[in-house]
Amino acid sequence: MARKIQLKTGGKLLLFALALLAFRASVFAQAPTAASLAKQVDAHYNRLQSLQARYTERYQGMGLDRTETGSLTLRKPGRMRWAYDTPAGKLFILDGKDAISYTPGDAQAQRIPEKKLDDLRSPLRFLLGHTELAKELDGLSLTVVNGGYTLSGTPKGMQQRVHSLALTVDAAGAIRAMRIEETDGAVTTFNFTDMHENIPTRDGDFIFTPPPGVAIVDGAAPI
């Protein structure tokens, strides 16, 4: 009798193990490749004309651990606005030609030509044109995380500063998070929520009007 019970139990365990293996094989077979998911992200953003989202930005490095929040607005061609809640009034604007960054209390706003921009927010610029992730990121790879996917690589032209860029995307190809690891070990993470696509935007959203007494000078955009 004991042997029959053992055989039945063993048979059930074997069936369970086979079912689990079949499930894992099915999930693996359905998982996209890095190339196919990159194309899905391309297709998702190439159809957009504008995007608005809430963001949380966390910087960890150089002895700092800083978290800031705000609203991001993107509009094609080549326009971007990061309006910070904390610190209130901080701005980073890309007007299609130049990037301007300003922190309240500063006597100057920094301006740098878009083509020379080396800012940690700049990897999102590929969403403002015709997206081809596979061409934007060297060493493109894919990992599965928490029901979503992460595409990783090194942004072209930023190899001296950025070690890796990781984009966490959902099944529809929408970017939910961006993690940037710099060559000095610093890590900046952006998490995006409350996203709205193809919404109306104003030209004025992408024009910086300096407060009284604040001058716009040419320079490098700060982190």
State residue 205's pLDDT score. 94
Mean pLDDT of 198-210: 94
Per-residue pLDDT reduced to its tens digit, 15-64: 555 454 444 444 444 668 999 999 999 888 888 899 999 999 999 998 89
pLDDT per position as a tens digit, 70-82: 999 999 888 999 9
Predicted pLDDT of residue 161: 82
CB 58 within 8 A of CB 188: yes
pLDDT at 106: 94
Give Cα separations from 168 to 5, 18, 143, 216 (angstroms).
Answer: 48, 31, 9, 35
* The pLDDT of residue 69: 96
For the chain, the average pLDDT equals: 82
Report pLDDT for 18: 47
Identity of the amino acid at 185: G
- Which amino acid, residue 132? E
- Residues of the chain with pLDDT > 90, as a percent, come to 50
pLDDT, tens digit (0-9, with 9 covering 90-100), for 39-51: 999 888 888 899 9
Angstrom distances, CA of residue 69 to CA of 58, 92, 209: 9, 13, 21
Paired strand residues for 71: 54, 83
Predicted confidence (pLDDT) per residue in 168-177, tens digit: 998 788 899 9
Specify the higher pLDDT residue, 182 or 159.
Answer: 182
Question: Helix, strand, or coil here: 183?
Answer: coil
70-98 b/e with 16+ CB inside 10 Å = b? bebbbbbeebbbbbbeeeeebbbbbbeeb
Using the predicted structure, report yes or no on whether residue 118 has a pLDDT greater than 90: no
191 within 8 A of 174, measured Cβ to Cβ: no
Classify residue 158 as exposed, middle or buried by CB count within 10 Å of its CB (0-12, 13-18, 19+). Answer: buried
Residue 119: pLDDT above 70?
no
Give, in order, the Cα–Cα distances in Å from 220 to each of 1, 93, 162, 164: 81, 13, 16, 21
Residue among 32, 33, 31, 41 nearest 136 (CA): 41
